[in-house]
Structure 1
Amino acid sequence: MATEAWLTPKHHFPYELIPYELSIGSPFPLGATVDQGGVNFSLFSAHATGVELCLFDDAGHSESHRIALSEQTQQIWHGYVHGLKAGQLYAYRVYGPYEPQLGHRFNPHKLLLDPYARQLVGEYQHHRANYGYELNSSSEDLSFSTLDNAAFMPKCKVVDIRPLIAAAKASAIRPLVRRPLAQSIIYEMHLKGFTAAHPEIDDKRRGTFAGLASKPAIDYLVELGVTCVELLPVQAFFTEPFLLEKQLTNYWGYNSIGFFAPEPSYLSSADISEFRVMVDALHSAGIEVILDVVYNHSAEGSRLGPTLSFRGIDNLSYYRLHPNDKRFYINDTGCGNTLNINHPRMLQLVLDSLRYWVEVMGVDGFRFDLAACLGREAYGFDPGSGFFDALLQDPVLCQVKLIAEPWDIGPGGYQLGNFPVAFSEWNDRYRDTMRRFWRGDHGMLPEFARRFHGSGDFFEHSGRPPAASINFLTSHDGFTLGDLVSYTHRHNLANGEDNRDGHQENFSYHYGVEGPTSDPNIMAIRARQQRNLLTTLLLSQGVPMLLSGDETGRTQLGNNNAYCQDNKLNWFDWSSLGMDRELLAFTRTLIALRKRFPLLCARHFIHEQLAAQPLASSCARLDWFSRQGDQMTKSLWSESMCRSLSVVLSGDLALKGKQQALLLMVNADDNPLVFTPPTLAHLSPWQCLIHTQSDSQLGTPLDTQSSPCAGPLDAQVLPTRYQLQDRSLMLFHADLIL
């Protein structure tokens, strides 16, 4: 129920007289803005009846002053505090009706974070005072809590970003590192997990932005050969109460609360410029930075969650609520709430946040979590939604890399292939197809070819290139690559949900034993399968994304939903026991091969040519053959029991006028198979680049004049007939002789 006593601000605070002069100030820019004379504060709330700025001491423990912001312009409350300086800690209390049925949840007993805060100081502490209603009351969220939560909340810090802006304008590094997305090799990593256990990095810097900026971390990435890191959320986030009660944390960070503030626990110092220093260090090494961002929901959760920021500032404006009973949140995210991206001020906040991370912090692009939410209008998903239109016309944001996770749990939530032309998309059809094909599922050849070719059936219809497909085998969400070939079932008991969480169907297989084994035959099959999958990923058209640690055989012991495990289960294992150096060397070779042959990342889809045409008649072509060396026909494609084929990619592969061809022979069968290379004119002899066969069982040439390939980058010539080991592949190249 509404409480009249809280509809207007109180002015008789037990605080010392305000020593600061207050003037009208400006509604724009939103947030706290520093200049030579003081700080301008600006906060949007359409339905508030009063807003108070609360100032705190340097430790954030004691509230020293409250200042009522009485000026309103376009529903924005603002005021300029003279004499205030950068470093000041602050937050807000907002007055208004507490009427959950009408969508209002104002409660001035709750200290609220500024949505535009550039930095948060202090830790969030789980306490009943953080809730706007009385916990355990019979009326649930209809009751009203008078507990003050200031002692349990972090505080916002006034940050002078002018030096960062000046440094960004002066930087000459970033324009030099930009490359087309089609030429990118993305490395998805957790900022903390990558360096948390690194033995060559100082304890203070491990797991921080400074840790990733360190020489050992960057040297590893350069030697691996990746061109871009995609960081799991680094914007400030809180752990959900139900995890805190189980003494777990939200390790992944998909629970954002501050869209401008770096996650405080990732800072090794009190200076947010540490993030910009990290970006510049990566840029200097030729590596771009993409942020995984969460603009679909906030850390405040469902109607029974805490009041931390948006809910107490203007619940009705910031969130999408059920029209018939505004107590309830529309939950298209599965996280309890959905941010109202259709509201102009919420839309402005997201765009301002994106520009801030580009212009001030220097990042090169974004991966949008549950991006279907961002394109959903009242009538459903629309690639011409207000958010997409606003984003793509923005002169800054239209130039950066944009990647969508093309689904959520809302109505019409699966939208692979339906995003605007400027977007690339995580392609789960690629993931599932390659897993199933190499697992040995029947009837997968046509689907394998479509995904290997760049998934033109999803993207080309709208004029999008192969780079629209972000190809991945594994990601943070699910099994690691090593676990994909070691477990058939999930093992998530450590999450405290009785193994009910996480994906049930992973298209995985253990090849004889669930989990670790010392059986050499099983270990050999698992090693081949990891190499098969990685080779397929790096040779496919589209943009490959590698999960951090897959190149070293990292395991999560079968946990396919390790979102709450902030421990060695999730951290990169730098120890000699935890690092498969042979697999690492193999992955480095694959990445080098992709860079050596640029047509593996073609700018346009390669269409089928007539079989009678010579290879050299087209700039680029892709030809499919059976293992007997015959051109694939409709009847051959329809053989559901067939799990083998050869593919020839030819054209100006080096982009230097030299015509070359690549031959990939694939055997996903559980038996050795004999391959006859296709007979093609104008080719020099095929020579081996890489293979995934076990050295002890290397296939045998079936003519007596040739010897087999003996290893990666070998120069041996392909025989006319060759027996390829079960579950393996071979890659060859040849010059086109014109």
Structure 2
Amino acid sequence: MTNWTISAGHAAPLGATFDGEGVNFAVFSVHASKVALCLFSPDGKRETHRIELPERDGDVWHGYIPGLRPGQLYGYRAHGPYAPAEGQRFNPSKLLMDPYAKRLTGHPVWHDALMGYTVGAPEADLSLDPRDSAPYMPRSVVEDPSFAWGDDHPPGTPVSRSIIYEAHVKGLTRQHPGVPNPGTFLGLASEPMLEHLQKLGITAIELLPVQAFLNDRFLVEKGLVNFWGYQTLGFFAPDPRYLSAGNIAEFQHMVARLHSAGIEVILDVVYNHTCEGNELGPTLSFRGLDNRSYYRLAEDPRRYINDTGTGNTLNLNHPMVLRMVMDSLRYWVEVMHVDGFRFDLCATLGRRVRGGFSSSASFFDAIRQDPVLTRVKLIAEPWDIGPGGYQLGAFPPPFLEWNDKYRDGVRRFWRGDAGQVSELADRLTGSARQFDHSGRPATSSVNFLTAHDGFTLMDTVSYAAKHNDANGEGNRDGHSENFSDNMGVEGPSDDPAITAARAQRRRNMLATLLLSQGTPMLLAGDELGNSQSGNNNAYCQDNPIGWVDWQGVDPDFLDFTRRLIALRRTHPILRQKRFLHSRQRLLDGLGDLFWWRPDGGAMTLADWARDDLRVLGVEMRIASGTPAYAQREEALFMIFNGGEALPVKLPKAPADWCWRLHIDTDRPGLAPQIIRNDKLPVAAQSVVLLELERADG
């Protein structure tokens, strides 16, 4: 056994840092009385050394061990008061993961020894459990994260050209017949996956959480797992389940491969809470290192503020906790080369000390002044379950926001709900009521029809109600109002009329998405016709329910999706940064937005108020104020018909100009064609797109 010597080392950087000759360890705790570093044998089974960190600078404990190399397994034990009534929960019997660990050997194995208290005791969390938790804890691993990136460059796709594809690493790849190492980062980086994504035309893949996360105990006891990953254990470590050989370079390889295909990588990150839960949760890291600092505690400090619905809320009002989050974000950008982040329950990150949301909260101010993070894409999920938690449109630039009002408005229009034409108009033009302020662009709205949380597109047109029985919660979990429609039969159907109606509805909804101003996001598998059998909360379904079905691909819908994406890419009018507001343009005196009735008349206030109106025509041009060099096309005319078939009068074309039909969802294979008449027959339940072109073009 090596007799390691330890010296003072340095308080920065935090974590375990290899410098070529040894390893510096630094960990934050305000209230600990001492912190011990635990070293383990290469197989992780024996704790070979327990060494007190010799120095403390401010609230950072640190030490340096020469000769230690990458691959060394370690953890911490923190000493201090166990006084839950005062918010203190130190227990040196519990092995703690380094919050800055860059790799973990695995996941915690559920056992009562993981709890800092004695399970089953009266007033349980006030008791102290003396058992060693090390046999059930993963080990932190010293890593040298350097990687031969070669000529890797981030694609740097402008937001106005972005098409986001939300996917789960395992869910997307597990059932693909041609993918090696399915279910892993390497599988996602494989040639078949890159070919599919490139042919589809997406510009960015947004991955559900890949930072190390916990399998919740209640799920494990039911024979299920945490599939989605919204229970973060380590903010710097890729989850071991996605590593084929346990090497973090596999993640870096995936990013490099996606970049080489022109595809950005956006990570769904969870900095609003940790997996340790409330006072009856396990002691795995943060709670044992400094409970009062890492978490927002209630007026009774024995309890936790729970704005997230998970039992706890990270305290980003503490400078060292905020520093951890910022260090983590910069690590994933600078070391792992990711291109952006989607922040889960981002309203929580904007809560001040007293709990209220503010767009100038410390987290947003820190992000907006950071020279690294202002270069990448930032997307907010603009809500949580705390007081005043719904904050759509309230985030500061440069944040984009998931727009659930877009999802619900488009679903309701195509379902045939009354009075939805004005709602559709707002969504088609970038949801200006929410986003046209503070200099924010129209691309601030991330428009989506479906996401991981909810029905797939196929299920939206196949089920009138959720079917979550496989989750083991009596179908009580998940959203009950999905604005969906089974088209006459609940679930799969062989009736040709029903399958045709469902295909048409899916084309209509997808066309609406890709013809709207804003930033479109697709759910992985929707382009294939993937179903989750009506489960709208597949968070625990690591099985065919949650995996994308590559065997039942709908080739016609896949081709239609590719065509729509390609069309959006070639038509700047569809992806403008400036909002359209029916303003006259200085260049030609024409307006940038017109709303038309089927008879060719302009929409009136009375028309907008009609509950029975089911059809809307919109003519768009490049927005007023856009530089002349960006005005490369004249006009687009779109018809969204949620009612019966009818003739629609086309806007008058200038002399020597004509309308060319590009998209008709009733005839998805139709080639572009010139329309010679001033009226166009529009099929029931369909979307039509025409472009104004020179007659001799």
Aligned to 2:261: 285
Instruction: Say if 1:229 and 1:289, in contact at 8 Å, map to a contact too.
Output: yes
> Is 1:59–2:30 an aligned residue pair?
no
Q: How does 1:468-487 map to 2 (within 5 A)?
A: 468-487=444-463
> Is 1:543–2:522 an aligned residue pair?
no
Instruction: Say if 1:112 and 1:312, in contact at 8 Å, map to a contact too.
Output: yes
Instruction: Say if 1:614 and 1:681, in contact at 8 Å, map to a contact too.
Output: no
Aligned to 2:160: 182
Instruction: Say if 1:479 and 1:560, in contact at 8 Å, map to a contact too.
Output: yes
The structure-2 alpha-carbon separation of the partners of 1:129 and 1:599, relative to structure 1 and needing over 3 Å to count, comes to: same
Residue from 359, 362, 381 that aligns with 2:337: 362
Residue from 726, 731, 738 that aligns with 2:684: 726
The code of the aligned residue for 1:624 comes to W
- Aligned partners of 2:351, 2:40: CA distance in 1, in Å? 40
Instruction: Say if 2:653 and 2:692, in contact at 8 Å, map to a contact too.
Output: no
The code of the aligned residue for 2:675 comes to V
In structure 2, the residue corresponding to 1:723 is in which secondary structure?
A: strand
- Aligned partners of 1:517, 1:143: CA distance in 2, in Å? 57
Q: How does 1:43-442 map to 2 (within 5 A)?
A: 43-161=27-145, 163-164=146-147, 167=148, 171-175=150-154, 177-202=155-180, 205-323=181-299, 325-379=300-354, 380-442=356-418
- Aligned partners of 1:88, 1:317: CA distance in 2, in Å? 28
Aligned to 2:608: 637
The structure-2 alpha-carbon separation of the partners of 1:622 and 1:143, relative to structure 1 and needing over 3 Å to count, comes to: same
Q: CA deviation at 1:674?
A: 2.7
- Aligned partners of 1:430, 1:658: CA distance in 2, in Å? 28
- Aligned partners of 1:345, 1:123: CA distance in 2, in Å? 25
> Is 1:627–2:598 an aligned residue pair?
yes
Instruction: Say if 1:391 and 1:398, in contact at 8 Å, map to a contact too.
Output: yes
- Aligned partners of 2:474, 2:572: CA distance in 1, in Å? 47
- Aligned partners of 1:46, 1:349: CA distance in 2, in Å? 14
Residue from 40, 44, 60 that aligns with 2:24: 40
The structure-2 alpha-carbon separation of the partners of 1:127 and 1:683, relative to structure 1 and needing over 3 Å to count, comes to: farther
The code of the aligned residue for 2:496 comes to P
- Aligned partners of 1:148, 1:241: CA distance in 2, in Å? 19
Aligned to 1:13: none
Residue from 484, 490, 495 that aligns with 2:466: 490
Q: CA deviation at 1:616?
A: 5.0
Q: CA deviation at 1:60?
A: 1.1
Instruction: Say if 1:661 and 1:736, in contact at 8 Å, map to a contact too.
Output: no
| 1:243-291 Cα deviation digits (max 9, x unpaired) | 1111111100000010000011101122211111111111111111110
Instruction: Say if 1:668 and 1:728, in contact at 8 Å, map to a contact too.
Output: yes
- Aligned partners of 2:202, 2:218: CA distance in 1, in Å? 37
| 1:103-148 Cα deviation digits (max 9, x unpaired) | 0111111110000000001332111111111111122211111111
Runs of 4+ that moved beyond 4 A? 613-616, 651-658
In structure 1, the residue corresponding to 2:675 is in which secondary structure?
A: coil
Instruction: Say if 2:294 and 2:315, in contact at 8 Å, map to a contact too.
Output: yes
| 1:213-259 Cα deviation digits (max 9, x unpaired) | 11110010000000000000000001111111111111000000100
Instruction: Say if 1:133 and 1:143, in contact at 8 Å, map to a contact too.
Output: yes
The code of the aligned residue for 1:594 comes to R
Aligned to 1:510: 486
Instruction: Say if 1:229 and 1:288, in contact at 8 Å, map to a contact too.
Output: yes
Give TM-score scaled by structure 2 length.
Answer: 0.97
Q: CA deviation at 1:383?
A: 0.4
The code of the aligned residue for 2:200 comes to L
- Aligned partners of 1:480, 1:105: CA distance in 2, in Å? 43
> Is 1:445–2:421 an aligned residue pair?
yes
> Is 1:594–2:568 an aligned residue pair?
yes
In structure 2, the residue corresponding to 1:58 is in which secondary structure?
A: coil
Instruction: Say if 1:443 and 1:642, in contact at 8 Å, map to a contact too.
Output: yes
Instruction: Say if 1:615 and 1:650, in contact at 8 Å, map to a contact too.
Output: no
Give TM-score scaled by structure 1 length.
Answer: 0.91
- Aligned partners of 1:40, 1:517: CA distance in 2, in Å? 62
- Aligned partners of 2:640, 2:63: CA distance in 1, in Å? 68
Q: CA deviation at 1:530?
A: 0.3
Q: CA deviation at 1:684?
A: 2.4
In structure 2, the residue corresponding to 1:429 is in which secondary structure?
A: helix
Instruction: Say if 2:347 and 2:383, in contact at 8 Å, map to a contact too.
Output: yes
The code of the aligned residue for 1:127 comes to H
Q: CA deviation at 1:713?
A: 3.2
Instruction: Say if 1:659 and 1:736, in contact at 8 Å, map to a contact too.
Output: no
Q: CA deviation at 1:718?
A: 5.6
In structure 1, the residue corresponding to 2:459 is in which secondary structure?
A: helix
- Aligned partners of 2:447, 2:260: CA distance in 1, in Å? 26
Report the number of matched residues.
Answer: 692
- Aligned partners of 1:509, 1:655: CA distance in 2, in Å? 44
In structure 2, the residue corresponding to 1:438 is in which secondary structure?
A: helix
Q: CA deviation at 1:457?
A: 1.1
The code of the aligned residue for 1:70 comes to P
In structure 1, the residue corresponding to 2:101 is in which secondary structure?
A: coil
Identity of aligned residues (%): 53
Q: CA deviation at 1:37?
A: 2.2
Instruction: Say if 2:652 and 2:678, in contact at 8 Å, map to a contact too.
Output: no
Aligned CA RMSD, in angstroms, stands at 1.8
- Aligned partners of 1:239, 1:31: CA distance in 2, in Å? 24
- Aligned partners of 1:373, 1:733: CA distance in 2, in Å? 44
Q: CA deviation at 1:631?
A: 1.2
Instruction: Say if 2:340 and 2:377, in contact at 8 Å, map to a contact too.
Output: yes
| 1:129-178 Cα deviation digits (max 9, x unpaired) | 111111111222111111111111110000012x23xx45xx43324x11
Q: CA deviation at 1:651?
A: 4.3
Q: CA deviation at 1:632?
A: 1.2
Instruction: Say if 2:528 and 2:550, in contact at 8 Å, map to a contact too.
Output: no
Q: CA deviation at 1:327?
A: 1.1
The code of the aligned residue for 2:36 comes to E
In structure 1, list runs of 5 or more residues that go unmatched.
1-15, 696-709
The structure-2 alpha-carbon separation of the partners of 1:614 and 1:311, relative to structure 1 and needing over 3 Å to count, comes to: closer
Instruction: Say if 2:179 and 2:187, in contact at 8 Å, map to a contact too.
Output: yes
The structure-2 alpha-carbon separation of the partners of 1:103 and 1:52, relative to structure 1 and needing over 3 Å to count, comes to: same
> Is 1:674–2:647 an aligned residue pair?
yes
Instruction: Say if 1:256 and 1:299, in contact at 8 Å, map to a contact too.
Output: yes
- Aligned partners of 1:550, 1:405: CA distance in 2, in Å? 21
> Is 1:686–2:659 an aligned residue pair?
yes
The code of the aligned residue for 1:675 comes to V
Instruction: Say if 1:254 and 1:294, in contact at 8 Å, map to a contact too.
Output: yes
The code of the aligned residue for 1:637 comes to W
Instruction: Say if 2:422 and 2:608, in contact at 8 Å, map to a contact too.
Output: yes
Q: CA deviation at 1:665?
A: 1.4
The code of the aligned residue for 2:135 comes to A
Aligned to 2:6: 22
Q: CA deviation at 1:569?
A: 1.0
Instruction: Say if 1:296 and 1:338, in contact at 8 Å, map to a contact too.
Output: yes
- Aligned partners of 1:310, 1:321: CA distance in 2, in Å? 13
Aligned to 1:10: none
The structure-2 alpha-carbon separation of the partners of 1:623 and 1:268, relative to structure 1 and needing over 3 Å to count, comes to: same
Aligned to 1:581: 555
| 1:632-685 Cα deviation digits (max 9, x unpaired) | 11121111210101111234999676433222112112x323322232434622
- Aligned partners of 2:632, 2:108: CA distance in 1, in Å? 60
The code of the aligned residue for 1:593 comes to L
- Aligned partners of 1:434, 1:480: CA distance in 2, in Å? 14
In structure 1, the residue corresponding to 2:443 is in which secondary structure?
A: helix
- Aligned partners of 2:433, 2:153: CA distance in 1, in Å? 35
Q: CA deviation at 1:63?
A: 1.0
